[in-house]
Amino acid sequence: MRTPILFALGLAAGAAAAHFLDPESGRKRRNRMRGQAISTVSHVKPTEKPDDATLAHKVETEIFRASDAPKGSVSVDVQAGVATLRGEVREEQWIQRLGDEAGHVRGIQGVQNLLHTPDQPTPAAEPRGYAAERHNN
Protein backbone atom coordinates (compact mmCIF):
# COMPACT_ATOMS: atom_id res chain seq x y z
CA MET A 1 0.00 0.00 0.00
CA ARG A 2 2.83 2.36 0.79
CA THR A 3 4.60 1.90 -2.52
CA PRO A 4 1.70 3.11 -4.73
CA ILE A 5 1.24 6.23 -2.58
CA LEU A 6 4.95 7.07 -2.71
CA PHE A 7 4.96 6.40 -6.43
CA ALA A 8 2.00 8.78 -6.95
CA LEU A 9 3.66 11.49 -4.82
CA GLY A 10 6.91 11.10 -6.75
CA LEU A 11 5.06 11.24 -10.03
CA ALA A 12 3.21 14.43 -8.98
CA ALA A 13 6.43 16.06 -7.79
CA GLY A 14 8.17 15.18 -11.04
CA ALA A 15 5.30 16.57 -13.11
CA ALA A 16 5.29 19.82 -11.10
CA ALA A 17 9.06 20.15 -11.48
CA ALA A 18 8.84 19.57 -15.23
CA HIS A 19 6.00 22.09 -15.49
CA PHE A 20 7.80 24.88 -13.64
CA LEU A 21 11.38 24.15 -14.73
CA ASP A 22 10.61 23.82 -18.43
CA PRO A 23 13.34 25.77 -20.29
CA GLU A 24 10.88 27.41 -22.71
CA SER A 25 7.83 28.32 -20.58
CA GLY A 26 8.91 27.60 -17.00
CA ARG A 27 9.99 31.16 -16.18
CA LYS A 28 6.65 32.57 -17.35
CA ARG A 29 4.75 29.96 -15.31
CA ARG A 30 6.83 30.62 -12.17
CA ASN A 31 6.32 34.39 -12.47
CA ARG A 32 2.58 33.96 -12.98
CA MET A 33 2.33 31.75 -9.87
CA ARG A 34 4.45 34.21 -7.88
CA GLY A 35 2.18 37.08 -8.96
CA GLN A 36 -0.95 35.15 -8.00
CA ALA A 37 0.50 34.29 -4.59
CA ILE A 38 1.49 37.91 -3.91
CA SER A 39 -1.91 39.15 -5.07
CA THR A 40 -3.67 36.72 -2.75
CA VAL A 41 -1.54 37.70 0.24
CA SER A 42 -1.90 41.45 -0.41
CA HIS A 43 -5.71 41.18 -0.44
CA VAL A 44 -5.80 39.79 3.11
CA LYS A 45 -6.95 42.58 5.42
CA PRO A 46 -6.33 42.75 9.14
CA THR A 47 -9.46 42.21 11.19
CA GLU A 48 -8.42 44.27 14.21
CA LYS A 49 -8.65 48.05 14.27
CA PRO A 50 -5.37 49.63 15.33
CA ASP A 51 -5.40 51.38 18.70
CA ASP A 52 -4.88 55.13 19.04
CA ALA A 53 -1.17 54.84 19.89
CA THR A 54 -0.55 52.80 16.75
CA LEU A 55 -2.52 55.28 14.66
CA ALA A 56 -0.55 58.19 16.13
CA HIS A 57 2.70 56.45 15.19
CA LYS A 58 1.40 55.84 11.64
CA VAL A 59 0.38 59.50 11.31
CA GLU A 60 3.83 60.65 12.51
CA THR A 61 5.51 58.30 10.04
CA GLU A 62 3.40 59.63 7.17
CA ILE A 63 3.54 63.37 7.90
CA PHE A 64 7.25 63.45 8.79
CA ARG A 65 8.33 61.42 5.76
CA ALA A 66 9.68 64.47 3.92
CA SER A 67 13.22 65.39 4.91
CA ASP A 68 12.28 69.06 5.36
CA ALA A 69 9.15 68.38 7.47
CA PRO A 70 9.01 70.32 10.79
CA LYS A 71 9.52 67.23 12.98
CA GLY A 72 10.47 68.94 16.22
CA SER A 73 7.68 71.49 16.38
CA VAL A 74 4.57 69.36 15.72
CA SER A 75 2.92 66.93 18.13
CA VAL A 76 0.41 64.28 17.13
CA ASP A 77 -2.32 62.87 19.34
CA VAL A 78 -5.06 60.42 18.35
CA GLN A 79 -8.26 59.93 20.33
CA ALA A 80 -10.92 57.49 19.05
CA GLY A 81 -9.46 57.65 15.53
CA VAL A 82 -9.34 61.46 15.33
CA ALA A 83 -5.84 62.88 14.88
CA THR A 84 -5.01 66.22 16.52
CA LEU A 85 -2.00 68.14 15.22
CA ARG A 86 -0.59 70.82 17.53
CA GLY A 87 2.38 73.11 17.20
CA GLU A 88 4.00 75.95 15.37
CA VAL A 89 5.35 75.73 11.83
CA ARG A 90 7.35 78.39 10.01
CA GLU A 91 5.45 78.29 6.72
CA GLU A 92 1.70 78.33 6.05
CA GLN A 93 2.02 75.56 3.44
CA TRP A 94 2.93 73.03 6.14
CA ILE A 95 -0.35 73.54 7.99
CA GLN A 96 -2.45 72.32 5.05
CA ARG A 97 0.04 69.70 3.88
CA LEU A 98 0.44 67.99 7.27
CA GLY A 99 -3.32 68.02 7.86
CA ASP A 100 -4.00 66.47 4.44
CA GLU A 101 -1.33 63.78 4.91
CA ALA A 102 -2.68 62.89 8.36
CA GLY A 103 -6.17 62.47 6.93
CA HIS A 104 -4.95 59.95 4.36
CA VAL A 105 -3.65 57.48 6.97
CA ARG A 106 -5.78 54.33 7.02
CA GLY A 107 -7.83 54.21 10.22
CA ILE A 108 -7.93 57.97 10.80
CA GLN A 109 -11.55 59.14 10.86
CA GLY A 110 -10.87 62.87 11.09
CA VAL A 111 -8.19 65.50 11.68
CA GLN A 112 -8.25 68.44 14.07
CA ASN A 113 -5.52 70.72 12.78
CA LEU A 114 -4.34 73.19 15.44
CA LEU A 115 -1.09 74.09 13.70
CA HIS A 116 -0.23 77.76 13.32
CA THR A 117 2.58 80.01 12.12
CA PRO A 118 4.58 82.20 14.56
CA ASP A 119 2.63 85.34 13.63
CA GLN A 120 -0.78 83.70 14.23
CA PRO A 121 -2.41 83.08 17.61
CA THR A 122 -2.75 79.51 18.81
CA PRO A 123 -6.08 78.08 17.62
CA ALA A 124 -8.60 77.23 20.32
CA ALA A 125 -8.80 73.52 20.94
CA GLU A 126 -12.01 71.62 21.50
CA PRO A 127 -12.29 69.74 24.79
CA ARG A 128 -10.46 66.42 24.75
CA GLY A 129 -12.67 63.72 23.24
CA TYR A 130 -15.17 66.17 21.74
CA ALA A 131 -13.66 65.94 18.25
CA ALA A 132 -13.90 62.15 18.35
CA GLU A 133 -17.58 62.33 19.36
CA ARG A 134 -18.30 64.79 16.56
CA HIS A 135 -16.60 62.60 13.90
CA ASN A 136 -18.27 59.39 15.12
CA ASN A 137 -21.80 60.82 14.77
pLDDT tens string 59-101: 999 999 999 999 889 999 999 899 999 999 999 999 999 999 9
- The pTM is what? 0.60
Q: Which residue has the higher pLDDT, 35 or 132?
A: 35
Measure the CA–CA gap between 59 and 78, rounded to whole angstroms. Answer: 9
- CATH of residue 78: 3.30.1340.30
User: Is 19 contained in some domain?
Assistant: yes
Shared domain for 56 and 19, answered yes or no, is no
Q: Which residue has the higher pLDDT, 76 or 19?
A: 76
Shared domain for 62 and 34, answered yes or no, is no
User: Is 66 contained in some domain?
Assistant: yes
* Residue 119, helix vs strand vs coil: coil
Give the tens place of pLDDT for each residue, 25-69. Answer: 878 878 888 888 787 766 666 667 889 999 999 999 999 999 999
